[in-house]
Amino acid sequence: MAATAGGNKIRNAKLVLLGDVGAGKSSLVLRFVKGQFVEFQESTIGAAFFSQTLAVNDETVKFEIWDTAGQERYHSLAPMYYRGAAAAIVVYDITNAASFTRAKKWVQELQAQGNPNTIMALAGNKADLLDERQVPAEEAKAYAQENGLFFMETSAKTAINVNDVFYEIAKKLLQGQQVQNPQGGMVLNQRPPERTVSSSSCCA
C-alpha cells in the first residue's frame, strides 16, 4: 500500500468532505479512492469512511476520509465528523448556484467551529458540464482567496483535478507540519502505520 520505500513515516490525516446535496462529495471520494465513477451515485446516509494513501516526494500521507450526508436536516451530525479534521474539502456544483451559497456557509462554519489549522479546499465539481455552469470560476476563485482556501474546479466524472486536490492538501499538510508548531496536534498525527488493520502484528 505504501508507495514509497520503507523508512519514511506514514502520516495520518483526517479529511472531511462537506457540501450540498448532490454536489458530488461521494463521487469525488470514489474517484480518488477507487478510481470509479457511477452516474447515479446513491445518496449518502449518515456518513461513509474511506482511507487512501498518497505519496508526496519521500513522504506518505494516509488520508482518513469522512464523506458526509449533504442534507441540511443532517447538519447536527456534521461536527462529529469535522471535529479534529486536518483538512476539509468543501464541495459545490458549478451548475447549481445554491450549492455555492451552501458551500460558503460550510466555510463559515468551519472557520467558526473548526480547528484554525484545518486546511480547507474549495472544489467546484461537475466541471465537465460547462454548458450548464451557474457559478463563474472567477467568482469562486475570488471567494477562495479572500478566505484563505485553495480552489480547484473538479470533475469526478472525467477525473479532472480530483487527485490534484488531494495531492495539494497532502503537500500543504506536510508543509504545515514543518512550519507550524508540531504541538498544534490536530494537523497531523504521527501514529504507527496501519494502526487499525492487522494490528496484531504490532512489534512495539
Partner 1 sequence: MRGGDAGAAAAEAGSPRSPDLYDFSDDSDYAAASHHTAMRTDSVDRGSDETARIDVVYEKERVTIHLTQYGSGRISGKLRLFLQRGSLFLSWEPNEGADSLSTSSIGVEIEKYRNLYTIKALPLSDVRFIRRHTPTFRLDYIIIVLSSGLAYPPFYFYNGGIRELFATLKQHVFIIRSDDDPNVFLVNDFQDPLQKSLSSLELPGVASVANAMSRQNSLSFTGANDESRHGTDGRHGEASSISQYGSKQKNKSNDPGRDLSIQVLEKFSLVTKFARDTTSSLFQNNSGAHAYGRQQHEYLLDNEASDKQKNQYITPEKASMPSAPPEPDPLPLVWGKQRDRPLSAEEWAAFLDPEGRVMDSKALRKKVFYGGVDHVLREKVWKFLLGYHEYDSTYAEREYHAAMKRAEYEAIKSQWKSITATQAKRFTKFRERKGLIDKDVVRTDRSVPYYEGDDNRNVVVLRDILLTYSFYNFDLGYCQGMSDFLAPILYVMEDESESFWCFASLMERLGANFNRDQNGMHAQLLALSKLVELLDPPLHNYFRQNDCLNYFFCFRWVLIQFKREFSFDQIMLLWEVLWTHYLSEHFHLYLCVAILKRYRQRIIGEQMDFDTLLKFINELSGQINLDRALQDAEALCTIAGENGASCIPPGTPPSMPIETDGGLYVQQDDVL
Q: Which residues bind partner 1 (CB under 8 A)?
A: 21-22, 40-43, 45-51, 64, 66, 69-74, 76-77, 80, 98, 196-200
**Residue 73 Cβ, how far from partner 1 at the closest point, in Å?**
5
Task: Decide: 168 and 152 in contact? Cβ < 8 Å.
Answer: yes
Comparing CB distances to partner 1, the nearer of 51 and 117 is 51
Give the phi and the psi of residue 129 in degrees, each rounded to 5: -95, 60
User: Which strands, in side-by-side order, build the sheet including 87-93?
Assistant: 47-56, 59-68, 10-19, 87-93, 119-125, 150-153
Comparing CB distances to partner 1, the nearer of 178 and 199 is 199
Comparing CB distances to partner 1, the nearer of 72 and 164 is 72
Number of C-beta neighbours around residue 59 at 10 A? 17
**Residue 41 Cβ, how far from partner 1 at the closest point, in Å?**
6
**Residue 170 Cβ, how far from partner 1 at the closest point, in Å?**
19
Give the phi and the psi of residue 40 in degrees, each rounded to 5: -110, 65
Identify the residue whose cell numbers are 502505520. 193
**Residue 185 Cβ, how far from partner 1 at the closest point, in Å?**
18
Q: Rounded CA gap, 157 and 121, in Å? A: 19
Comparing CB distances to partner 1, the nearer of 22 and 184 is 22
Q: Rounded CA gap, 163 and 165, in Å? A: 5
**Residue 79 Cβ, how far from partner 1 at the closest point, in Å?**
12
Task: Decide: 123 and 49 in contact? Cβ < 8 Å.
Answer: no
Residue 23 is which amino acid? A
**Residue 135 Cβ, how far from partner 1 at the closest point, in Å?**
16
Comparing CB distances to partner 1, the nearer of 24 and 124 is 24
Task: Decide: 86 and 62 in contact? Cβ < 8 Å.
Answer: no
Comparing CB distances to partner 1, the nearer of 43 and 145 is 43
Task: Decide: 123 and 141 in contact? Cβ < 8 Å.
Answer: no
